[in-house]
């Protein structure tokens, strides 16, 4: 089975917009394919099992999203990477976000580095990384609305958070029962933390004192500071948790 029952809404990172995806210069992507990649999906809400081969994962992903996905095996071979189809990955549960971002999250769950480009009638997996994440709070109505929601007060931590609480649990608790839809979506750039040498950030222990009603983003920043992290609002209406920039930069 490809689907797993991991419960946390934590994801490996994706940082590129579908609109930023490189297209084949000789053949422009079809509008239908772009629309499929831009459409929101929650079909990886239970994740993909650790150890799943890339070939199996993209077959599954393509089938549930009605996409044709191919691997540029020759491109990986030119990079010295053999048998890329058998590269193993793991994808934790992903929230409802655009399908193209889901696909990149899935690719971020494996080695070697991989991304995708759009061909006329299919998606092609190629070697490489997506663009680094950036603040997108002014890029779309959804991002501007989220920025507003994050500035609104919350009393979610009025009783505090006990010392020793896993970071993931504390963040999940904070993000529930806030905003007009009753929750705030976030993703963690897990790969970036791993590259920084902190692969187990979701299990890091945090605490928080009882706090009367205060702006959500103020509480969020204080919580993230305990795990040396910060957040970036994304154009699709969620925030991305990334490693904090070193002091002085």
| 216-236: average pLDDT | 96
Place of tokens 């996905």: 69
Give residue-wise pLDDT tens across range 147-198: 999 999 999 999 999 999 999 999 999 999 898 888 899 999 888 888 888 7
Q: What is the mean pLDDT of residues 202-229?
A: 95
Q: What are the domain boundaries of the chain?
A: 18-127, 141-243
Closest CA to 216 of 164, 180, 165: 180
Q: What share of the chain is helix, strand, coil (3-state, %, to 5)?
A: 35, 25, 45
Mean pLDDT of 196-215: 89
For the residues of 89-148, what is the DSSP string, one character each? EEE----SEEHHHHHHHHHHTBSS-EEEEE-SSSEEEEES-PPPP---TTSSHHHHHHHH
| pLDDT range class, residue 29, cuts 50, 70, 90 | low
Looking at residue 8, its pLDDT comes to 37
Give, for 103, the enclosing helix (H) or strand (E).
Answer: helix 99-108
More confident residue, 195 or 209: 209
| Average pLDDT of span 91-110 | 90
Task: Give Dmax over CA atoms of the chain in angstroms.
Answer: 59
Which of residues 196 and 88 earns the better pLDDT score? 88
The pTM of this model reads 0.79
> pLDDT tens for residues 51-60?
999 999 999 9
Spatial distance between the Cα atoms of 146 and 150, rounded to a whole number of angstroms: 6
């Amino acid at each position: 089975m490809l689907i797993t029952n991991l419960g946390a809404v934590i994801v490996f990172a994706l940082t590129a917009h579908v609109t930023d995806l490189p297209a084949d210069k000789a053949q422009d992507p079809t509008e239908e394919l772009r629309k499929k990649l831009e459409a929101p999906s929650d079909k990886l809400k239970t994740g993909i099992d650790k150890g799943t081969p890339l070939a199996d994962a993209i077959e599954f992903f393509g089938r549930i999203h009605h996409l044709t996905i191919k691997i540029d095996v020759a491109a990986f071979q030119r990079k010295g990477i053999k048998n890329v189809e058998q590269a193993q990955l793991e994808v934790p549960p992903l929230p409802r976000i655009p399908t193209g971002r889901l696909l990149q999250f899935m690719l971020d769950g494996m080695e070697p580095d991989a991304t995708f480009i759009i061909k006329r009638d299919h998606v092609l997996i190629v070697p490489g990384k997506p663009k680094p994440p950036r603040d997108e709070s002014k890029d779309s109505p959804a991002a501007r609305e989220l920025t507003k929601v994050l500035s609104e007060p919350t009393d979610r931590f009025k009783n505090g958070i006990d010392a020793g609480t896993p970071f993931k649990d504390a963040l999940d608790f904070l993000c529930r029962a806030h905003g007009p839809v009753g929750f705030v979506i976030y993703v963690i750039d897990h790969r970036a933390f791993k590259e920084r040498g902190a692969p187990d950030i979701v299990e890091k222990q945090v605490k928080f004192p009882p706090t009367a009603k205060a702006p959500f983003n103020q509480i969020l920043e204080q919580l993230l500071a305990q795990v040396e992290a910060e957040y970036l609002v994304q154009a699709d209406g969620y925030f991305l948790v990334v490693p904090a920039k070193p002091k002085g930069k």
